[in-house]
Amino acid sequence: MKQDPIADAIAAMIPAARTELAELVAFRSVADPDVSPLGESERAARWIAAALRAEEFTDVSVVDMSDGRQSVYGFLPGPPGTPTVLLYAHFDVQPALDESAWTSPPFTLTERDGRWYGRGAADCKGAVLMHLLALRALRAHGGPPVNVKVIVEGSEEQGTGGLEDYARAHPGLLAADAVLVADAGNVRCGVPTVTAALRGITMLRVRVETLRGDLHSGQFGGPAPDALLALLKILDSLTGDDGATRVRGLSADGTWPGVDYPEADFRRDAGLLDGVRLTGTGSVGDRLWARPSVGVMGIDCPPVAGATPTLHATARAAISLRLPPGQDAVTATSLLTAHIRRHTPWGARVSVEPLGQGEPFRADTSGAAYRAMEEAMAVAYPGQAVRLGGFGGGIPLCNALADLYPRAEILLIGLSEPEANIHAVDESVSVDELRRLATAEAHFLRTYAAAKSRCGA
Ligand SMILES: [Zn+2]
């Protein structure tokens, strides 16, 4: 095997990285004051700022955002005339959910079978270590060959938009030639992936009213319209018999050009029960990343325990609609609203209220940074070709950066492969993926710098 001093340096730094990630995971930096005190986020932010200062970053600052959260910014100047690369991660995490359901305590990083378990280990505190490992390996071998900016966000999971607001208000701050967003993941452990598509989303609240008050169903049932049944008819109209999303005017026949997701793998990852069929049409990739997908987030209705034979005067539901790249959330919201109104039966009164939306994202994969990442991944994952993947969650900052810096190339990689169980109980990061992706990142910075100096010359 070829010698790779960068890979060797990173492998040697893994034990120290484990200690550091354990410190970072120990901060309960859930960006929700009801779940976790604000001080935990502040301590995580200060930890990251100190780590950047130790790497000789200049201009390190913990910046207050419009949503009351903080992000950490740092700049590390490279050789004069070299391009600028922005490295992104976030330090806020999802709540631990049911702590007693975890195999080991969620905020105590614990090793089992080549993985480190803990909330945020993969999403996305591990990525902070991934960036640090790449930069440290480069520092040990001649220094980073580009100008490096780092931004580590404190409220990504809440979707409150603090960093997007800040970036728009300070358009110079995050300006870069290439952006490495380390908040996605390989399609499978050991399969190098650059994520090229992110789903968008729109969410609505629907309220149906039919009666002035609830009624005895023995006395009035039959002629008197039940609001809950009306709501169920509306919800039923959103999918066909095959379970495919069916919203009038919203196309649902897109095809996914990237790597497909084998059905058997998908069934296993999703935990489908034996005998239960997949919903929708097309390949699994089409359904996930090229077509819309509707969901019911919740319904307000009486619980089964204590339920009585009553006609319901009102009913409410919250609906989500995931959107593939190419569809826009504003148009989808109005199509979904019109669909709901059209499918409301019996002249029932219906009101539809938007609950928030995020645009889908598609990366331009034709530039120098993508070529550089292909070369870098080939070093870190010998014998494997890079796949273009899709990713379920939106990362609103990607759209903000694409608007602000239309010439910047945006690449999404990360540690959140399917086994990482992000947002769930027993989240973990693969130590091997951390080592390989940090190696790929370091090689990417070198290869990209070389490619840019060739086209500059
Ligand atoms: Zn994340």
| Closest by Cα among 137, 182, 143 to 13 | 137
pLDDT-derived band of residue 1, with 50, 70 and 90 as boundaries?
Answer: low
Q: What is the mean pLDDT of residues 290-297?
A: 96
Cα(48) to ligand 1 centroid in Å equals: 16
| Closest by Cα among 174, 138, 52 to 441 | 138
Among residues 40, 55, 67, 92, which one is catalytic? Answer: 92
Cα(415) to ligand 1 centroid in Å equals: 10
Using a pLDDT cut of 90, give the percent of the chain over it. Answer: 85
Q: Is 124 helix (H, G, I), strand (E, B) or coil?
A: coil
User: Quick one: DSSP state of residue 246?
Assistant: -
Pick from 207-211, 227-231, 325-329: least confident: 325-329
- Please state, in angstroms and rounded to a whole number, the distance separating the CA atoms of residues 158 and 227: 32
Whether residue 456 is predicted with pLDDT greater than 70 in this model: the reply is no
Cα(157) to ligand 1 centroid in Å equals: 7
- Please state, in angstroms and rounded to a whole number, the distance separating the CA atoms of residues 91 and 261: 29
Protein residues placing their CB within 5 Å of the ion ligand 1: 123-124, 183
CA angle at 402 for the pair 52 and 327, rounded to the nearest 5°: 135
Domain range 200-268+285-358, its CATH number among 3.40.140.10, 3.90.280.10, 3.30.70.360, 3.40.720.10: 3.30.70.360
Q: What is the mean pLDDT of residues 20-45?
A: 90
Cα(302) to ligand 1 centroid in Å equals: 35
- Please state, in angstroms and rounded to a whole number, the distance separating the CA atoms of residues 78 and 250: 47
Cα(162) to ligand 1 centroid in Å equals: 15
Whether residue 8 is predicted with pLDDT greater than 80 in this model: the reply is yes
What confidence score (pLDDT) does residue 274 get?
96
Question: What mean pLDDT, rounded, does the chain reach?
Answer: 94
- Please state, in angstroms and rounded to a whole number, the distance separating the CA atoms of residues 266 and 457: 47
Superfamily holding 5-198+360-454: Zn peptidases (3.40.630.10)
Cα(114) to ligand 1 centroid in Å equals: 21
What confidence tens digit (pLDDT) does each residue in 232-248 have? Answer: 999 999 999 999 999 99
pLDDT-derived band of residue 457, with 50, 70 and 90 as boundaries?
Answer: very low
Cα(1) to ligand 1 centroid in Å equals: 34
What pTM was estimated for this model as a whole?
0.86
Q: Give the chain's largest Cα–Cα span.
A: 86
Residue ranges, CATH 3.40.630.10, the chain: 5-198+360-454
| Closest by Cα among 199, 201, 203 to 288 | 199
Residue ranges, CATH 3.30.70.360, the chain: 200-268+285-358
Cα(156) to ligand 1 centroid in Å equals: 7
What confidence score (pLDDT) does residue 36 get?
78
Whether residue 441 is predicted with pLDDT greater than 50 in this model: the reply is yes
Whether residue 169 is predicted with pLDDT greater than 70 in this model: the reply is yes
pLDDT-derived band of residue 263, with 50, 70 and 90 as boundaries?
Answer: very high
Q: Would you say 175 and 371 are in contact if contact means Cβ atoms under 8 Å apart?
A: no
What confidence tens digit (pLDDT) does each residue in 17-31 have? Answer: 999 999 999 999 997
> For the residues of 256-301, what is the DSSP string, one character each?
--S----HHHHHHHHTPPTTPPPPSSS-HHHHHHTS-EEEEEEEE-
**Residue with tokens 């409220």, as numbered in its chain:** 155
Active site residue 156: yes
What confidence tens digit (pLDDT) does each residue in 357-394 have? Answer: 888 999 989 999 999 999 999 999 999 989 988 877 67
pLDDT-derived band of residue 312, with 50, 70 and 90 as boundaries?
Answer: very high
Cα(353) to ligand 1 centroid in Å equals: 27
What confidence score (pLDDT) does residue 50 get?
98
Pick from 2-11, 144-153, 215-224: least confident: 2-11
What confidence tens digit (pLDDT) does each residue in 79-128 have? Answer: 999 999 999 999 999 999 899 999 999 999 999 999 999 999 999 999 99
Helices and strands (DSSP H and E) totals, the chain? 12, 18
Q: Is 153 helix (H, G, I), strand (E, B) or coil?
A: strand
Using a pLDDT cut of 70, give the percent of the chain over it. Answer: 99
> For the residues of 178-225, what is the DSSP string, one character each?
EEEE-S-B-SBTTB-EEEEEE-EEEEEEEEEE-SSS-EEHHHHBTTBP
- Please state, in angstroms and rounded to a whole number, the distance separating the CA atoms of residues 220 and 359: 46
Q: Would you say 137 and 438 are in contact if contact means Cβ atoms under 8 Å apart?
A: yes
Cα(95) to ligand 1 centroid in Å equals: 13
Among residues 40, 153, 156, 286, which one is catalytic? Answer: 156
User: Quick one: DSSP state of residue 245?
Assistant: B
